[in-house]
């Protein structure tokens, strides 16, 4: 009999109970004991759901208080020395300080989890001596068994991927770190075996990226050692997000099963399976239900893949599961009572995906009583959905887009020609200061928006409230001495959702929340149809803000690639086609802002790097169409109009040339959490456009000292031209409190003034 399995379940709770408990603890409103109690109840409720759904292999240790990579670091004693850790189990307080920073120390770096919208805390190895602080998988296994009678499948981040995701060691030291950490993994697995654990899932997503022969030697060393440590434990070596590399070698490791992505990596995986076969003593754990998107599975199509696999392995050697952890999708469609039924009928969130996994498993096992009914219901749902008017504009849109692409997507003048024109028009000082766009969304802002959405306030009342907030923050910015101002984005719930609500082709869930990083949850819009421009989206607030000051106010837009990558997108069109539809709509907004007298327009693209494909041969085509989409959005403005963009929390070292090709006049990039390491890229590569490197981390409540920011600025100016350099925080300030925001900006401006003075003194000598 085939087994059904799950790789991980959303930790946030159906109503984001997880987020609320953690944030109350941070605010000092919840005692630690109560935090543990509340999170335990959430964790157990998730296990009960999977048990009730009929999942055979239920994951444990997939739940986290913040991030699964940080959990692994804490379990292995990988704590940055600056936190003065003295060994033993990492306390809750210290755990969150590593993630968020403390009054005295900056947080660890945060970056994207492969090519998803989730972000993890980067382990810092440096000169640490690792230790097993506690066996977290064992504790999770015991809890599930004792509380619910569940024979859980512990989930552990694989040693190879953990080392690959870390920093603080030279490339040639990778093997040494594997040997340092291997005894700890050895001990974890031995203790699990002693407890009677049957299955263990080692997540090794790094195995879908290119890795060397030397890497393969290390992978072989790891899994041979673990098999020796616990020969009675059945190990699933789990990969996801793409097709696995070196299948022919991995399948012969001493493991019980190899987990493969049968959605995003299906073609590459099935080709390797057909070419190399499956040894008789191995199982294949195949992910046939999409763990990264929200559309209902087309069951017949999925079952066709199972039929192909049955030519290689018998049903009793197959494990049916989602393509990856369900961390990346919302909890349940059942809470979506406001969506049109025709759209709701084609959606599947985590709970519904569990049902699909069980339906496929039952069909494979000959228990197909409800199979035909489910298949027909799906076909009828998609037929009605595909007939929607908004899904049938694509041909007309494409004609307009193709015409623009054929004309070419270049500004009228080169950067070298237009930047002096912009400088002359804007009359800004050396090292202009600005922010990325948003200011704190206080409880008053959220309450006002809620009243308006509920109909308790008229649109006139809400607009008046937003105008008051704009007035207040324009005054703050002028008092602080910022050079280029923003309106603050108080009317926006989210930088993607806001635009989706004003464009055709989008719909919105009521409870479709997913975790982005830490307690930060987002509710991605759903691109279900063709994207169309309906009316100006940002002009009113931006023009109002500009009327309240003589300093330039930036127009603030989210770029086409970020809107696409941070939305759940339709599956019947290519991502390139969707990106161009978005760009064509945003182009009309950029031009509306310019016509209204806005001289600086920022088109943020923080998610360009996030969406970079994991396979190297797919990266250039993706970057090429991303560049074209950005230029399609921005190329129609006058030379004097300055285009900005913003990117954050990714390693940009391999795409500096692509950033340059976007031809933005000014780009701002995060450098604070990576402690200025990005600057090293510019020490090796010339960058001759305007640039701002974020000088403080907005995802931490910590207010950096003036000297700290001054040091970052000065290091950047060793390799970047002062006349092209801007000063800004590393991201928007929406999630921060007002006092810390004002204090940090004050320090940033003081640091800028000090550097300006030094530059002036140097120039006078």
**Burial letters for 727-743: b for 16+ Cβ neighbours within 10 Å, e otherwise?**
bbbbbbbbbbeeebbbe
Token pair for 209 = 């990226």
436 is in an annotated binding site: yes
DSSP state of 558: E
Nearest of 146, 166, 238, 156 to residue 189 by alpha carbon: 156
Residue 255 and residue 291: Cα distance in Å, rounded? 24
Residue 756 and residue 594: Cα distance in Å, rounded? 31
646 is in an annotated binding site: yes
Residue 113 and residue 447: Cα distance in Å, rounded? 33
Task: Residue count of the chain, please give it.
Answer: 765
Contact 299, 356 (CB under 8 A): yes
Token pair for 724 = 């092209």
521 is in an annotated binding site: yes
Can you spell out the DSSP letters for 372-428? HHHHHHHHHHHHHHHT-GGGS-HHHHHHHHHHHHHH----SS-HHHHHHHHHHHH-P
438 is in an annotated binding site: yes
670 is in an annotated binding site: yes
Q: Strand 110-112 and strand 119-121: pairing?
A: antiparallel
Residue 539 and residue 543: Cα distance in Å, rounded? 6
| Number of CB atoms found within 10 A of residue 478's CB | 14
394 is in an annotated binding site: no
Residue 421 and residue 175: Cα distance in Å, rounded? 54
520 is in an annotated binding site: yes
Nearest of 434, 418, 432, 439 to residue 634 by alpha carbon: 418
Roughly what angle, to the nearest 10 degrees, separates helices 17-26 and 32-53? 170
Residue 179 and residue 182: Cα distance in Å, rounded? 5
Residue 514 and residue 331: Cα distance in Å, rounded? 8
Helix ranges (H only) for 596-687 are 616-634, 656-661, 679-684
Residue 11 and residue 66: Cα distance in Å, rounded? 9
Residue 492 and residue 321: Cα distance in Å, rounded? 37
- Cα 204 from chain centroid (whole Å): 18
648 is in an annotated binding site: yes
699 is an active site residue:
yes
Contact 172, 79 (CB under 8 A): no
635 is in an annotated binding site: no
Q: Which of 264, 487, 644, 699 is catalytic?
A: 699
Q: Where are the beta strands (DSSP E) in 575-681?
A: 600-604, 642-647, 666-670
417 is in an annotated binding site: no
513 is in an annotated binding site: no
**Given strand 503-507, what is the order of strands in its sheet?**
503-507, 526-533, 568-569
Q: Where are the beta strands (DSSP E) in 550-613?
A: 554-558, 568-569, 600-604
489 is in an annotated binding site: yes
Residues annotated in a binding site for Zn(2+): 646, 648, 661, 670, 731
Residue list, annotated binding site for 5-methyltetrahydropteroyltri-L-glutamate = 19, 112, 117, 520-521, 566, 610
Annotated binding site for L-homocysteine: 436-438, 489, 604
Known binding-site residues for L-methionine equal 436-438, 489, 604
- The residues annotated as belonging to the active site are 699
Binding-site residues sit at 19, 112, 117, 436-438, 489, 520-521, 566, 604, 610, 646, 648, 661, 670, 731
């Amino acid at each position: 009999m085939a087994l059904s399995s799950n790789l991980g379940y959303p930790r946030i709770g159906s109503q984001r109970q997880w987020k609320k408990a953690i944030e109350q603890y941070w605010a000092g409103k919840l005692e630690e004991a109560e935090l543990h109690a509340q999170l335990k109840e959430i964790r157990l409720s998730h296990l009960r759901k999977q048990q009730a759904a009929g999942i055979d292999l239920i994951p444990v240790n997939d739940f986290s208080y913040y991030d699964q990579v940080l959990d692994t670091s804490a379990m292995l004693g990988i704590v940055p020395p600056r936190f003065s850790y003295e060994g033993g189990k990492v306390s809750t307080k210290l755990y969150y300080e590593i993630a968020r920073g403390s009054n005295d120390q900056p947080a660890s770096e945060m970056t994207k989890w492969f090519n998803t919208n989730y972000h993890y805390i980067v382990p810092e190895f440096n000169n640490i001596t690792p230790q097993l602080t506690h066996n977290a998988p064992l504790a999770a296994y015991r809890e599930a068994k004792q509380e619910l009678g569940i024979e859980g499948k512990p989930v552990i981040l694989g040693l190879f991927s953990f080392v690959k995701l870390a920093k603080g060691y030279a490339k040639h030291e990778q093997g040494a770190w594997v040997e340092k950490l291997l005894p700890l993994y050895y001990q974890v697995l031995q203790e699990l075996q002693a407890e009677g654990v049957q299955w263990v899932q080692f997540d090794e997503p790094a195995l879908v990226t290119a890795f060397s022969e030397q890497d393969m030697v290390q992978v072989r060393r790891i899994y041979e050692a673990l098999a020796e440590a616990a020969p009675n434990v059945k190990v699933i070596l789990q990969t996801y997000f793409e097709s696995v590399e070196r299948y022919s070698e991995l399948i012969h490791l001493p493991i019980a099963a190899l987990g493969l992505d049968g959605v995003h990596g299906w073609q590459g995986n099935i080709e390797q399976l057909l070419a190399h076969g499956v040894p008789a003593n191995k199982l294949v754990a195949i992910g046939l239900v999409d763990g990264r998107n929200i559309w209902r599975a087309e069951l017949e199509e999925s079952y066709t893949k199972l039929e192909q696999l049955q030519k290689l392995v018998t049903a009793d050697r197959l494990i049916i599961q989602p393509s990856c952890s369900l961390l990346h999708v919302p909890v349940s469609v059942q809470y979506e009572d406001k969506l049109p039924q025709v759209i709701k009928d084609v959606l599947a969130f985590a709970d519904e995906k569990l049902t699909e996994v069980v339906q496929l498993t039952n069909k494979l096992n000959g228990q197909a009583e409800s199979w035909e009914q489910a298949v027909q219901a799906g076909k009828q749902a998609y037929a009605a959905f595909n007939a929607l008017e908004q899904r049938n504009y694509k041909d007309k849109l494409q004609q307009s887009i193709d015409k623009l692409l054929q004309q070419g997507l270049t500004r009228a003048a080169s950067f070298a020609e237009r930047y002096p024109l912009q400088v002359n028009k804007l009359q800004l000082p050396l090292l202009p200061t600005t922010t990325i766009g948003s200011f704190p969304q206080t409880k008053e802002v959220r309450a006002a928006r809620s009243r308006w959405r509920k109909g308790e306030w008229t649109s006139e009342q809400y607009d008046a409230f937003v105008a008051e907030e704009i007035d207040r923050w324009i005054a703050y910015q002028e008092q602080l001495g910022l050079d280029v101002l923003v309106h603050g984005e108080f009317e926006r719930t989210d930088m993607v959702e806001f635009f989706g609500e004003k464009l055709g082709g989008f719909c919105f869930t009521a409870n479709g929340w997913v975790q982005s990083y830490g307690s930060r949850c987002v509710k991605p819009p759903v691109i279900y149809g063709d994207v169309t421009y309906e009316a100006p989206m940002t002009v009113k607030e931006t023009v109002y803000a500009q009327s309240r000051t003589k300093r330039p106010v930036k127009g603030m837009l989210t770029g086409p690639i970020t809107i696409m990558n941070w939305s759940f997108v339709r599956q019947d069109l290519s991502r390139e086609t969707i990106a161009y539809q978005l760009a064509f709509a945003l182009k009309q907004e950029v031009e509306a802002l310019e016509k209204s007298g806005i001289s600086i327009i920022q088109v943020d693209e923080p998610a360009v790097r996030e969406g970079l494909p994991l396979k190297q041969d797919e990266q250039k085509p993706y970057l090429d169409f991303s560049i074209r989409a950005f230029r399609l959005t921005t190329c129609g403005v006058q030379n004097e109009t300055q285009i900005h963009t913003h990117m954050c929390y990714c390693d940009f070292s391999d795409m500096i040339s692509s950033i340059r090709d976007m031809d933005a006049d000014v780009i701002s990039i995060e450098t604070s959490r990576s402690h200025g390491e990005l600057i090293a890229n510019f020490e090796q590569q010339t960058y001759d456009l305007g640039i701002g490197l974020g000088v403080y981390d907005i995802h931490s409540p910590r207010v950096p000292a003036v000297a700290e920011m001054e040091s970052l600025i000065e290091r950047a100016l060793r390799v970047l031209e002062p006349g092209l350099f801007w000063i800004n925080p590393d991201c928007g300030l929406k999630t921060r409190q007002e006092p810390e925001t004002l204090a940090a900006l004050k320090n940033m401006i003081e640091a800028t003034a000090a550097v300006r003075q030094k530059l002036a003194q140097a120039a006078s000598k």
